[in-house]
Structure 1
Amino acid sequence: MAPELEEVPLGKTDRFNNLGINSVNRAEIIMTVMEEFWLNVPRIELARAKNIGELPDLFLGKL
């Protein structure tokens, strides 16, 4: 999805766009997580995540 980030240390406050993660990459990340954890969450709810730390919080709220 973003192989150039494999060796980059990531922090909870890192913003997706600052990391070069575009909307397509972000959608792939979200779909992969949803498939892995068998979640069915409306994508509009996940669009609120502006940084790396917010995305898992939104997913955890649905478990």
Structure 2
Amino acid sequence: MDPVLETIRRNVCVVLPDLDPTLVAPDRSLTELGCNSIDRAEVVTLTMEALEISVPVAEFGPVRDIGTLAELFRRHVR
């Protein structure tokens, strides 16, 4: 699996410890998995810290699912 997607999956499971990790798929949204706005912010923050990246808030507008979130993060990974 792709390391960015795996990092997102790991952090979703940190924030939602009762969630089955197999449900964290590129075509699913964080909201669909049960994340509220605070949970989503925590997943994003934990993932950016783990990847050692910083993404401007304005770039998150088109993100609709975990796959597009991973694509956004991949563009910032060096």
| TM band (smaller chain) | 0.7 to 0.9
Q: SS of 1:30's equivalent?
A: helix
Counterpart position of 2:76: 62
Q: Which runs of 5+ in 2 are unaligned?
A: 1-14
Compared CA separation, residues 8 and 62, structure 1 to 2 (3 A): closer
Between the two proteins, what is the percent identity of the paired residues? 32
User: Displacement, 1:29?
Assistant: 0.7
TM-score for the superposition, normalised by structure 1: 0.81
Give the helix-richer structure, 1 or 2.
2
Q: Which runs of 5+ in 1 are unaligned?
A: none
Compared CA separation, residues 47 and 3, structure 1 to 2 (3 A): farther
Q: Aligned-pair RMSD on alpha carbons?
A: 1.5
How many correspondences in the alignment? 62
